[in-house]
Amino acid sequence: MPRGEPMKDESGGGEQRSVGRGLDWLNLFVANIQTGFGPFIAVYLTTQGWTQTAIGLALSVGTVAAMASQVPARRKSLAAGLSILAFTLSALIFALWPVPLFVYLAEVLHGFSSCTLGPAIAAMSLALAGRASLGLRLGRNARYASIGSGIGAALMGACGYYVSNQAIFYLTAVLTVPALLALLPLSHLDDWRGREEIARPPQPTPVLTLLRDRRLLIFAGCAMLFTLANAGILPLASTYLTKRLGAGASLMIAACIVLPQIVVAVLSPQIGRLAEMRGRRRAMLLGFLALPLKALLFVVVTNPFAMVLVQGLDGLAAASFGVMVPLITSDVAGRSGHFNLSLGMIGLAIGIGGTLGTPLAGWLADGYGGAAAFGGLASIGALAFLLVWGAMPETRPAEASVP
């Protein structure tokens, strides 16, 4: 398709349907890969004798790298492919050399690849759907990503239980192959400017004007607080389950991932539809309320099976947050000529929250106990909810509609 030609409507066109299915599969397989990082790293490093503070610090190294990687890439498919290959290398380093220097290196690779891959998928989604239908497309992305995370968690939990925690990272490396294959049909999206390019004004919005936009700044603050509260919850729960259940923790951690992903798969399209019909704030408030409620319940719930059920609330929070980040960024900057830069700014705020969140949770747990750690994270989550409630303006454009 020649550069500059607008894409067909999402309701029709064989080529667009094929690209849409390709994007579905890419989201699914990328989520498979991402499942191998985070809570399974906490389990693995706990078995290697790492403290909660050291685990939190290691996870934060990857987030620092993610903040440094918030640079727009012109060719989105190339950026996505290199990111997936970086996941392969990162997983192999974890499997082969679980010592501090190499763990930090693996986290740096993972951080860079995570924050280049996300904007690449968001930009491809915007080219495919246009601003008016982006919420629906992002809800679909989140549904397939949640299915992929659920499948990946089940496979990795079984792998950790029946083989070893180390084998989880070999499996993660293998799962990058189908992700690369899913990316192949999407390579020509780089040459599709889509409806949004046609709708842009002749002159892009000055960068400083955009970065002073009240909506973008408040949303960045909301995103930072959300991630600050959320980043350490599952690693803390994972460490607790590992100490209590030993080898059986991998299966329980898998359940803590699978259940929320089922919730995400069910709710994400509805969250996207709610955001298009009723506005972004309502969809945000649902997810931001679920976060402090989940953390508070972890203060009093200690039964492993009950902890899995509580973790189901993460599905609502993840569905809302995952759809809202690129959607609100598109609302504010989709026609400015700086969508990727704005998404990078939000990613930087998320990175700051994640960087501070995991070591903060580990420090609180080591110094004051798990209940105090979860209580502190709940307080931060409540502050994020109040910021959305009291300060976040509605960003839904007037032309947004649901067919």
Question: In which domain, by residue range, is 251 found?
Answer: 14-193+205-391
HSE value, Cβ hemisphere, 13 Å, CA-based, for 248 = 5
The string of DSSP letters for 87-103 reads: HHHHHHHHHH--SHHHH
- On whether residue 266 sits in a domain, the answer given is yes
- On whether residue 243 sits in a domain, the answer given is yes
Would the pLDDT of 403 be above 60?
A: no
Label residues 306-345 b or e (16+ Cβ within 10 Å = b): ebbebbbbbbbbbbbbbbbbbbbbbbbbbbbbbbbbbbbb
Would the CA dihedral through 107, 112, 117, 122 be positive or negative? positive
Here the tokens at position 199 are 């709708």
Percentage, residues of the chain above pLDDT 90: 11
- On whether residue 200 sits in a domain, the answer given is no
- On whether residue 344 sits in a domain, the answer given is yes
On whether the CB atoms of residues 360 and 375 are closer than 8 A, the answer is no
Tens of pLDDT, residue by residue over 208-251, are 777 778 888 999 999 999 999 998 888 888 877 777 776 667 77
Tens of pLDDT, residue by residue over 257-308, are 778 878 888 888 888 888 888 888 888 999 999 999 999 998 888 888 888 8
> Alpha helix (H) ranges present in 369-400?
370-391
Tell me which of 352 and 66 has the higher pLDDT.
352
- On whether residue 28 sits in a domain, the answer given is yes
- On whether residue 401 sits in a domain, the answer given is no
CATH of the domain at 140: 1.20.1250.20
Residue 188 binned pLDDT confidence (cut-offs 50, 70, 90)? low
CA–CA distance, 116 with 66 (Å, rounded to integer): 8
Q: How many domains does the chain fold into? A: 1
- On whether residue 385 sits in a domain, the answer given is yes
- On whether residue 269 sits in a domain, the answer given is yes
Tens of pLDDT, residue by residue over 344-392, are 778 778 878 877 888 888 888 888 888 889 999 999 999 999 999 999 9
